[in-house]
């Protein structure tokens, strides 16, 4: 199965431009699953809830999702992408999974990072795994990485591939996701953005790129640089994520000592 990340550099507030640029790139990627960054259509650094509400969209009728579905149809692919989702007067930092037949699933970011707490409503969707034919796919978003329970839950629910749209500013995540892959024996695809946003005085945000595809054994199959927009693809065997043995006598799920864990 061919999978890919698309590392982009969104311009804040330019939804149509950001979406159309991403769609042009999607049309040239030969992959069955492509992951885009968090908030790929809007940019990241909102100044207020009101501003976020103005740029957000309904998943079923929104511009970004509709164009992604068209791209998925044209490329016979599935796409995971981060959007600002409007629902019931709230805005969620969400990730959509779309395929040629439309929206397959939506995940609303559970763990909001720093000032996101002032903008977005806390995610209220369960961690779910979707069967897209060749693989079972789960979604998490950026800062969710620091809560190992997220990746663990997706793995326990049967994910072969964890897709992680991101807008990383701290340097730890790409290395940490190697561990998330090893400890759960799953593939992980992190799609981060590059560029700088200076929308709040004294709080410039520089995004670190370094999008990557990691195997269940912890091999970094592809990793992007930190400055440019770029796509990275890999040919993977999703079934490699289904053998949870680390040694013939160690099964990472069955060996868990839940009797002594604090849950």
Residues taking part in catalysis = 38, 109, 142
Work out whether 113 is an interface residue with ligand ACM (CB under 6 A): yes
**Closer residue to ligand ACM (CB): 118 or 245:** 118
**Closer residue to ligand ACM (CB): 171 or 225:** 171
* Nearest distance, CB of residue 143 and ligand ACM, angstroms: 3
Work out whether 211 is an interface residue with ligand ACM (CB under 6 A): no
**Closer residue to ligand ACM (CB): 184 or 190:** 190
Number of residues that bind ligand ACM (CB under 6 A): 7
Residues 6 or more apart from 21 whose CB is under 8 A from it?
8
Which of helix, strand or coil describes residue 32?
coil
* Nearest distance, CB of residue 171 and ligand ACM, angstroms: 11
Work out whether 207 is an interface residue with ligand ACM (CB under 6 A): no
Among 91, 154, 163, 168, binds ligand ACM (CB under 6 A): 168
Residues 139-176, buried b or exposed e (16+ Cβ, 10 A)?
bbbbbbbeeeebbbbbbeeebbbbbbbbbbbeeebbeb
**Closer residue to ligand ACM (CB): 209 or 216:** 209
Rounded to an integer, what distance in angstroms lies between the CA atom of residue 198 and that of residue 43?
11
Q: x/- binding map, residues 33-52, to ligand ACM, per CB under 6 A?
A: -----x--------------
- Nearest of 248, 177, 252 to residue 212 by alpha carbon: 177
Q: In this structure, how many other beta carbons lie within 10 angstroms of the beta carbon of residue 49?
A: 15
Rounded to an integer, what distance in angstroms lies between the CA atom of residue 138 and that of residue 96?
11
Among 92, 130, 143, 187, binds ligand ACM (CB under 6 A): 143
Rounded to an integer, what distance in angstroms lies between the CA atom of residue 6 and that of residue 75?
14
**Closer residue to ligand ACM (CB): 56 or 215:** 56
Work out whether 142 is an interface residue with ligand ACM (CB under 6 A): yes
Q: Which residues pair with 92 in a beta bridge?
A: 85
DSSP class per residue in 83-98: EEEEETTEEEEEEEEE
Region binding ligand ACM by CB under 6 A among candidate stretches 26-34, 99-107, 165-173, 240-248? 165-173
Footprint of ligand ACM (CB under 6 A): 38, 113, 142-143, 167-169
């Amino acid at each position: 199965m061919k999978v890919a990340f698309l590392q982009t550099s969104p311009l804040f507030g330019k939804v149509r431009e950001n979406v159309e640029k991403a769609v042009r790139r999607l049309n040239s990627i030969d992959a069955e699953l492509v992951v885009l960054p968090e908030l790929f259509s809007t940019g990241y650094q909102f100044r207020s809830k009101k501003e976020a509400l103005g740029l957000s969209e309904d998943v079923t009728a929104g511009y970004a999702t509709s164009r992604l579905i068209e791209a998925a149809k044209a490329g016979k692919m599935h796409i995971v992408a981060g959007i600002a989702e409007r629902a019931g007067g709230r805005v969620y930092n969400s990730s959509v999974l779309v395929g040629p037949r439309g929206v397959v699933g939506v995940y609303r970011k559970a763990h909001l990072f720093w000032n996101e707490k002032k903008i977005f409503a806390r995610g209220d969707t369960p961690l779910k795994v979707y069967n897209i034919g060749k693989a079972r796919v789960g979604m998490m978003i950026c800062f969710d990485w620091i809560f190992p329970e997220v990746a663990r839950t997706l793995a326990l629910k049967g994910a072969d591939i964890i897709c992680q749209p991101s807008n990383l500013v701290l340097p730890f995540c790409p290395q940490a996701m190697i561990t998330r892959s090893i400890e759960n024996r799953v593939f992980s695809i992190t799609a981060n953005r590059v560029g700088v946003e200076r929308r709040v005085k004294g709080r410039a945000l520089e995004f670190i790129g370094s999008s990557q595809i990691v195997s269940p054994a912890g091999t970094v199959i592809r990793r992007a640089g930190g400055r440019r927009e770029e796509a990275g693809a890999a040919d993977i065997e999703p079934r490699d994520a289904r053998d949870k043995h680390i040694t013939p006598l160690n099964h990472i799920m069955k060996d868990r000592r839940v009797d002594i864990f604090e849950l």
